[in-house]
Amino acid sequence: MYPITWVVIGTENKLTWKWFMTILQDDPNLEDGSQLTIISDMQKGLIAAVDELFPEFEHRMCARHILANWSQNFRGIEIREKFWDCARSTFEAQFKYNINALSKLGKGIVEALIKYNKEKWCKAFFQTFSKCDNIYNNMAESFNAWILGPGNKTIVIVLEEIIVKVMSRVSKSKAFAETWTYGISPMEMMVFNTNVTRSMQCNIEWNCDDGYEVFEGVYKHTVNLGQQKCSYRSWELKGIPCAHGIATMNRLNMDTSQVDNKGVCDRGKPSSGEGGETITQDEPIDTVNIDDHDLSNYDTPSASDSDDLSNAEESGDNVPFEASSSDDDFFMPNWSPRSMSMSPFRNHEISYLDYLLDGPNMFGDTHDEYISQLGRYIKEHTCNMGTCRDGHFNLDIEMIASILRVDIEKMPRFPIKDCQTGVLKAYAISISRRKVYLGCKRAFEKVYGTWEGSFAELPRFMEALKHFNLVTIVEWKTECRVNVIENVFNYVF
């Protein structure tokens, strides 16, 4: 948020709002308000003044104010949750589905809600030029509370204090922006990372030159990379590639981490062309019998609007970060090439063993230090606890794993302190070593498989040991467990 201007007035009405808006119109040269979005509460004087001065603007109303007025006659947690589902719907089919679910909670609920123009409080009907999908005016309300001075001071002193506070805030915000790793804010990066994680659940089908059908569960939607559009509309609303766009870019081996505020990939864009054909939804959405009001086209949705009906935050994967390492954090033996074939021992389903097999020199020497380091690494990464609340509650283990995945692929024993540094650069959040351990463990499992799978490959690994060092002795002993005779690994010398 960048404060432009503020004023102290006695009463909020059309006259005072028009005076204020006239000054605001002339100074930044806003003209008729085209490409301008205003979000406010339901103040009638403001609406009338803005309609007169900015006829081409987009006016949004704070969804919280609409909820407060509408819910006076309709109370209950489930009703409130369904309202927010409707407000956060990003495409029309999703809105119709959610409002249909809302109508089942009571008589007259939907009829009362649609008296408020849905184009002013539902994301599905917002214009996309602002690259902001905010449905609240919390930022302005918070700013008002932040600059509010003590009542015993004069207006001049209060305004001077506000100027000092705003200057200090702008300076700190600029300094903070210089610390961003990717040129976008940490919160935007968190949204992008969430979308990357979600994109791994999508299936892609090519449709035309740059149009793709993206399947997520039983729903499907159209992605056009040439126009940077998706029928989910989140990409257009936020300017951040949605999960379906990221899945399509991954299909084309494009670098999804190098994006700007328009969602453009540095590695290049496909040639422009016609978008994908209209597709239909797998499951029809039942309609609800209501008056015409604002939903004259309240029918079964077209497929270009269809998408997953969940309202999950759009959350990441394959996002690299700069990190340094030192020999104090881990031990890596000096590999020397050997011409012996590895193919009899490879199993690409357990790729960490293949990583070890790429260093056959370790089998020919005594590596007590290496074995101890490997044991310490296993101890740190085999914790059975799947959750950890240290650090920001939204920064869960899956998100940390998605950040570390690229580095784990390059270096399985990535230093813990560098992992913490990477998370700090990406999200400006410090997390504990324990939470980093769990994130590394999860990233390791995503890349190389679980430890159970690795232990199942132990016999193959031991055969490789004997292959590259003929003096290696591997001893197995026979044990009877629950009437089953098993060969159990004893030791290796």
Q: Amino acid identity of 15?
A: L
The pLDDT value recorded for residue 86 is 93
Cα separation, 175 vs 251, whole angstroms: 37
Residue 447 inside a domain? The answer is yes
Quickly tell me which residue has 């007169």 as its tokens.
52
- Got the DSSP string for 44-57? HHHHHHHHHH-TT-
Mean pLDDT of 207-225: 78
- Residue 417, SS3? helix
Whether the pLDDT of residue 36 is over 50: the answer is yes
Q: Which of 8-12, 230-234, 421-425, 464-468 is predicted most confidently?
A: 230-234
Q: Give the chain's mean pLDDT.
A: 69
- Decide if 269 is inside a domain: no
Domain end point (choices 130, 158, 177): 177
Helix (H, G, I), strand (E, B) or coil at 108: coil
**Exposed, middle or buried, 193 (CB in 10 Å: 0-12/13-18/19+)?**
buried
What are 241-287's pLDDT values in tens digits? 999 999 888 888 887 765 554 443 333 333 333 333 333 343 333 33
Between residues 65 and 396, the one the model is more confident about:
65
Mean pLDDT to the nearest integer, 386-410: 66
The 8-class DSSP code of residue 259 comes to: B
Are 124 and 89 contacting, i.e. CB atoms less than 8 angstroms apart? yes
Distance CA 122, CA 85 (A): 9
Most confident stretch, 104-108, 121-125, 334-338, 457-461: 121-125
Tokens of 220: 């499907």
Question: Which is nearest to 388 in space by CA: 349, 334, 437?
Answer: 437
Burial of 298 by CB count in 10 Å (0-12 exposed, 13-18 middle, 19+ buried)?
Answer: buried
Answer yes or no: is 457 within a domain: yes
- Which of 152, 177, 202 marks a domain boundary? 177
Residue 314 clears pLDDT 50, i.e. is over it:
no
73, 70, 41: which is closest to 141 by C-alpha?
Answer: 41
Q: Where are the beta strands (DSSP E) in 145-255?
A: 203-206, 211-216, 219-224, 229-230
* pLDDT on residue 332: 30
Which residue range forms the structural domain that includes residue 386?
Answer: 343-465
252 part of a folded domain:
no
Note the residue count of the chain.
493
Q: Report d(CA 123, CA 312) in Å as an integer.
A: 14
CA distance 74 to 71: 5
Question: Does 170 reside within a domain?
Answer: yes
The C-alpha atoms of residue 238 and residue 194 are separated, in whole angstroms, by 14
pLDDT score recorded for residue 99: 92
pLDDT interval class at 403 (50, 70, 90)? confident
**Is 403 among the domain residues?**
yes
Q: Is the pTM of this model over 0.75?
A: no
Q: What is the CA radius of gyration of the chain?
A: 29
Element (H, E) at 418: helix 416-427
d(C-alpha 309, C-alpha 100), whole Å: 13
pLDDT, average across residues 458-470: 71
The answer to whether residue 234 sits within a structural domain is no
Q: How far apart are CA 13 and CA 220, in angstroms?
A: 47
Residue 489, in any domain of the structure: no
Domain count along the chain:
2
- In this prediction, what percent of the chain has a pLDDT beyond 70? 63
